[in-house]
Amino acid sequence: MKAAAARQARALTAMERVSRYFSDGTGRILSEEERAVENVYIQKMERERMEKMKKKAEKERAAAEKATASEKKEESQKN
């Protein structure tokens, strides 16, 4: 009996989460087309964020290589 009640509570919680993801914030459930548009927008934003992070990492890597190269150059000039 307790297991059935716990299973029902988990199912209810899962359904609440799903409906929350597919609502527009006013309690209205989004249609399939609206969800598709929202998913495309989210994917676009994630792709742009990943590209931005990749560019930043490349810049940091280039700066680190430049710093390492200048340190080696200074060290070789001292010797």
Tens-place pLDDT, residues 14-65: 555 554 555 666 777 778 899 999 999 999 999 999 999 999 999 999 999 9
- Distance (Å, whole) CA 18 – CA 40: 18
- Burial class from Cβ neighbours inside 10 Å (0-12, 13-18, 19+) for residue 31 reads exposed
pLDDT of 73: 76
Its sign, for the CA torsion 26, 31, 37, 38, is positive
Q: In the chain, where are the structural domains located?
A: 2-78
- What are 9's two structure tokens? 């509570």
Look at residue 40 in the predicted model and tell me its pLDDT.
Answer: 96
Distance CA 59, CA 53 (A): 10
